[in-house]
Amino acid sequence: MRAFNFSAGPAMLPEAVMRKAQAEFLNWNNTGMSVMEMSHRSKEFMEVAHHMEATLREIMGIPSNYKVLFVHGGASLQFAGVPMNLTEADDVVDYVNTGVWSQKAIKEASRYVNVNEVAKAENSIPAPETWRLSPEAKYLHICQNETITGVEYQSAPISDKPIISDFSSTVLSRPINVSDYGVIYAGAQKNIGPAGLAIVVVREDLIGQARSDTPNLMNWQTYNDNESMFNTPATFSWYLAGLVFDWIKEQGGVDAIGEVNQRKSKKLYDLIDASDFFYNEVDPSVRSWMNVTFKLKNADLDAAFLEESKAAGLLSLKGHKAYGGMRASIYNAMPEEGVDALVQFMKTLKRNTPDNSRP
Ligand SMILES: *Cc1c(COP(=O)(O)O)cnc(C)c1O
């Protein structure tokens, strides 16, 4: 039996997708071979690739003046890729620091360009009026959803500069307006599919400005000119991502999925807020729909909580070591029943502990 796996990433994939992949694992589409055994340049695989991009464009509502690139190196390579593609070494760029992933992006970008940190917070997003923006900045970088604390922008900030956003842990989780952004990038292993690829959705005028010493495989132009096949892509990850995009469409797209995601997260936040045993530290106006963090008021009971939740089939609830406590990552593929089971588990623990000595 499959458990409810609250891992932050790699994370649960939709069961229907896994079953389909399993059924056609050895013999894809009557070709006599697995999709991972065929040439990436074959007609068959090119159809997989084109279908994947078309479906992503449709479910994400990507306008025609945006290019979709399927890239190597995860989201982390784009921490360097963004400045290399958009700046020269003496340029200035603005970054909002809302947590660990913002900080990693800042640290890497600082090796290539002058980074101005416009604001900093851990459990909230500082009010945009307070951001110390630099007039000459080439772009404004944000992390749309801080996976470790569970802090998420509920809409795009307003800026006259291109907004570059790390969407790794919230891509395709709710409707967004792609044209609010210059570049959206995301690693696959949270909401897209298995690890091994990342997507870059980039407004076409932002392609073609890379530094001359940018490695080919970091240059967005290379991907754009070669249908993301300058070299061999992670074909099996592409194929599975395509199945996940089909699945999202079947669910009614990001509008329908967004409603479910909001409801799933609210069930947990409502329980946590009403509880004497658990608390959440994030400003309620920017709480993540994807990563719900909570801490036990008595942290001595963390180990017992993890042991008992695991025994109940609720896996990977341990929070990131940089933040502590617990984290329920409830990406698109986490069924609502999984959240209901966690809520029930947390309530039962409460009922069994009249003396407050346990969670
Ligand atoms: C997981 C994550 C990353 C790192 O992704 P990789 O694909 O492993 O490089 C970057 N940013 C955010 C917000 C993440 O959640």
pLDDT at 351: 57
Please report the beta strands in the chain, taking only residues with DSSP state E, as ranges in sequence order: 4-5, 66-71, 92-97, 114-120, 140-143, 145-146, 151-152, 163-166, 183-187, 198-203, 278-279, 291-296, 314-315, 326-329
Angle between helices 235-250 and 253-274 (to 10 degrees): 80
Find out whether 120 and 74 touch, Cβ atoms under 8 Å: no
Q: How far apart are CA 133 and CA 12, in angstroms?
A: 38
* pLDDT at residue 349, rounded to an integer: 81
Question: What is the Cα–Cα distance from 150 to 170, expressed in whole angstroms?
Answer: 11
Contacts 24+ apart (CB under 8 A), 253-259: 253/59, 254/59, 254/60, 254/172, 254/173, 254/174, 254/175, 254/176, 255/175, 257/172, 257/173, 257/174, 257/332, 258/173, 258/174, 258/175, 258/289
Q: Helix (H, G, I), strand (E, B), or coil: what is residue 216? A: helix
Residue 169 CB less than 6 A away from ligand 1: yes
Q: Is the CB of residue 76 below 6 angstroms from any atom belonging to ligand 1?
A: yes
The pLDDT of residue 350 = 63
Tell me the average confidence (pLDDT) per consecutive run of 10 residues in the chain, 359 residues long. 95 97 96 97 97 98 98 98 98 98 98 98 97 98 98 97 98 98 98 97 98 97 98 98 98 98 98 96 98 96 96 97 97 98 91 52
Cα four-point dihedral sign 105, 108, 112, 113: positive
Task: Check pocket membership of 170 for ligand 1, CB cut-off 6 A.
Answer: no
Atom number, ligand 1, closest to the C-alpha of residue 198: 7
CB atoms within 10 A of CB 289: 23
User: Locate tokens 């036990």: which residue?
Assistant: 296
Does the beta carbon of 143 lie inside 6 Å of ligand 1?
yes
| Substitution candidate for ligand 1 out of 169, 189, 190 with most atoms within 8 A of CB | 169
Which backbone phi and psi does 329 adopt, to 5 degrees? -85, 120
> Cα–Cα–Cα angle for 133, 137, 142, nearest 5°?
65
**Crossing angle for the helix pair 302-311 and 336-351, nearest 10 degrees?**
130
Asked if 176 and 252 count as a contact pair (C-beta separation under 8 A), the reply is no
Q: What pLDDT was estimated at residue 263?
A: 98
29, 42 Cβ separation under 8 angstroms: no
Task: Note the pLDDT of residue 1.
Answer: 79
> Cβ distance 314 to 3 under 8 Å?
yes
Give the whole-angstrom CA distance, residue 127 versus residue 204.
Answer: 30
To test the ligand 1 pocket, which listed residue (79, 97, 101, 103) has its Cβ within 8 A of the most ligand atoms? 101
Which tokens go with 341? 């089971």
Question: Is residue 45 within 8 Å of 158, Cβ to Cβ?
Answer: no
Mutating to test ligand 1, I would choose from 70, 72, 147 the residue with most ligand atoms within 8 A of its C-beta, which is 147
- Annotated catalytic residues are 101, 166, 190
Question: Model pTM?
Answer: 0.97
Through-space distance between the first and last CA atoms of the chain, rounded to whole angstroms: 27
CB-side neighbour CA atoms (13 Å) of 180? 15
Q: Is 234 in the pocket of ligand 1 (CB under 6 A)?
A: no
The pLDDT score that the predictor gives to residue 352 is: 60
The confidence score (pLDDT) of residue 359 equals: 47
The ligand 1 atom at the shortest distance from the C-alpha of residue 78 is 9
99 lines ligand 1 (CB under 6 A): no
